[in-house]
Amino acid sequence: MAGEKADETSASKPEKPKPDVPVINVRDLLADSREAVLIHEGERYRLRITAKDKLILTK
């Protein structure tokens, strides 16, 4: 029982990025839009904020 509480607590803490990983605020990336097209190695991906403020990345 006590182990379950510890797991819930650790799962709710945001992961700290490594020093060499850039941190980008999605709102800065998308500006006033709710979606953007990202290009990676010639492929197009759509990054979208849903109505429930979740992120979806689709190819």
Q: Is residue 58 part of a domain?
A: yes
Q: Could you give the 3-state DSSP secondary structure of residue 33?
A: coil
pLDDT in tens, 28-38: 999 999 999 99
pLDDT in tens, 7-31: 455 556 677 767 888 999 999 999 9
Domain span at 43: 26-59
Number of domains within the chain: 1
Q: Is residue 12 part of a domain?
A: no
DSSP secondary structure string, 14-31?
A: PPPPPTTS----HHHHHT
Question: What is the pLDDT, as a whole number, of residue 45?
Answer: 98
> In this structure, what CATH number is given to the domain that contains residue 50?
2.10.70.10
When comparing pLDDT for 15 and 43, which is higher? 43
Q: Is residue 21 part of a domain?
A: no
